[in-house]
Amino acid sequence: MEEGKEKGVFDGEKACLLVKELRKSFESGKTRSYKWRISQLEAIAMMIQEREKDIIEAVYKDLSKPQLEAYISEVSRIKTACSEAIKALHQWMKPEKVKTGITTYPSSAEIVSEPLGVVLVISTWNFPFMISLEPVIGAIAAGNAVVLKPSEVAPASSALLADLVENYLDNSSVRVIEGGVPEATALLEQKWDKILYTGNARVGRIVMAAATKHLTPVILELGGKCPALVDSNLNLQVAVRRLIAGKWAINSGQACVSVDYIITLKEFAPTLINAMKEELEQFFGKDQIKSKDMSRIVSPSHFSRLSKLLDDDKVSDKIVLRGQIDENQLKIAPTIILDAPDDSLVMQEEIFGPIMPIVTVDKIEDGFDIIKSKPKPLAAYLFTNNEQLKKSFVENISSGGMLINDTVLHVVTAGLPFGGVGESGMGCYHGKFSFDGFSHKKGVLYRSFNAWFGSSNSNKHKSISSNYG
């Protein structure tokens, strides 16, 4: 029986054998070929197409994720990532010509995208298919062998991922290892050529420390407190709908780019809060806890973490919209807290749930200081019609990504990198950025024996790009 597929404890020994097996496959050269990469990408596309219903069911089991949301965020997103990679792969693989200078004249040069080898993807539970498979698509497109470790916090999705990869993909080079901390630890002890980890910053540090031992490069996709600065000069209804979409309507706030807190003007806050209450009723009805359009909290431990944020004495008299709570169903309806003190838990920790603090300021620019006083977020949002304010926000606020007058959509915008900065992570992926993230960019200079000062023979330099032409 092949390693990694056996039942029983997955320990360091098994992890070591697994990596050996995948390295052998990588060294055989098969994953480098265009044909293999395309065949695997097409297999993922087919797997998503054929098993769409199972995927939607699995995320429903794990998160009560509404069908449409599951379709958009898990199924459709992977289809798009796959078809983008299939269409562009030939172009991505082509060496990139670089101009050479007088020092090396005559010569030619190019950047060759070389697969790194055997890579590890450790993913999380909130978008269990998208966050697992999008990096895998990038790793395969770049010609690597890859091991995926999904999150044990979404067990139905993890089990389905293992089943799908086993049945649709080439298991000599693509594998899923299910499990939690012991399995992740066993995997992290091995030598990888790149690790992409998605999850919280505490574990991000563990991953980076393990990678240091083998000088393995890492992409860390972490989280943080994503602010939305809301000016009074705006289209109120559109802004409020987009804030609700970017907080409660996507996985009940359990998204890394979900709006964590709002900053707005003191005199504008009542207008904003009233508009939010009205629109929330439009979205989820009067009895919001019963809404079928709202995901549940993923686990009892995350539910109790969120309850602690609300039980904090520092916010008990600041809750202006107290959402209903159903502990049995692990549901918390939209909750808004006005002017929670900065040292309250809700303003110190990443919320990752359906609680929205609103902080008020006298001048909108004061919001910049609040954002800058916290670790750099994964996303920062601004709602305004003021062009000067937009310019100043882009210039002065450092965040993984940024979106003006909407929420979340920058993440699905083709051509934009997705990744954090500072505490919200390092490196990026999505589309060509995934391909680049899992490739080594090898600079190659071609000189010929015929080359001599004054004699140009550069057209005789045959680069390897002709192999891709």
* Residues belonging to the active site: 221, 256
| Least Cβ distance, residue 95 to ligand NAD (angstroms) | 30
| Least Cβ distance, residue 372 to ligand NAD (angstroms) | 20
| Least Cβ distance, residue 41 to ligand NAD (angstroms) | 21
Residue ranges of alpha helices (H) inside 192-297 are 201-213, 236-245, 269-284
Question: Whose Cβ is closer to ligand NAD: residue 16's or residue 203's?
Answer: 203
Question: Whose Cβ is closer to ligand NAD: residue 55's or residue 195's?
Answer: 195
Question: Whose Cβ is closer to ligand NAD: residue 78's or residue 272's?
Answer: 78
Whole-angstrom Cα distance, residue 46 to residue 39?
Answer: 10
Helices 181-188 and 12-27 pack at an angle, to 10 degrees, of 50
Question: Whose Cβ is closer to ligand NAD: residue 220's or residue 240's?
Answer: 220
Q: Which of 75, 78, 91, 77 is nearest to 41 (CA)?
A: 78
DSSP for 359-398, please give it: EEESSTTHHHHHHHTSPPPSEEEEE-S-HHHHHHHHHH--
Question: Whose Cβ is closer to ligand NAD: residue 106's or residue 204's?
Answer: 204
Please check whether residue 250 is in contact with residue 69, taking contact to mean a CB–CB distance below 8 angstroms: yes
| Least Cβ distance, residue 134 to ligand NAD (angstroms) | 9
| Least Cβ distance, residue 408 to ligand NAD (angstroms) | 12
| Least Cβ distance, residue 182 to ligand NAD (angstroms) | 9
The residue number with the shortest CB distance to ligand NAD is 223
| Least Cβ distance, residue 313 to ligand NAD (angstroms) | 25
**Helix/strand/coil for 299:** coil
Please check whether residue 445 is in contact with residue 464, taking contact to mean a CB–CB distance below 8 angstroms: no
Q: Which of 231, 329, 238 is nearest to 289 (CA)?
A: 329
Site for ligand NAD, rule CB under 6 A: 122-126, 131, 149, 151-153, 180-181, 184-185, 188, 198-200, 203, 206, 221-223, 256, 350, 352, 378, 420, 425
Please check whether residue 376 is in contact with residue 420, taking contact to mean a CB–CB distance below 8 angstroms: yes
Q: Which of 161, 135, 143 is nearest to 39 (CA)?
A: 143
Question: Whose Cβ is closer to ligand NAD: residue 125's or residue 438's?
Answer: 125
Tally of CA atoms within 13 A in the half-sphere of 345 that contains its CB: 15
Whole-angstrom Cα distance, residue 254 to residue 234?
Answer: 27
For CA atoms 182, 187, 190, 191, the dihedral sign is: negative
At 235, phi and psi to the nearest 5?
Answer: -85, 100
Question: Whose Cβ is closer to ligand NAD: residue 125's or residue 284's?
Answer: 125
The verdict on whether omega for the bond into residue 106 sits within 30 degrees of 0, i.e. cis, is: yes
Q: Output b/e per residue, 336-363; b: 16+ Cβ within 10 A.
A: bbbbbeeebbbbeebbbbbbbbbbbbee
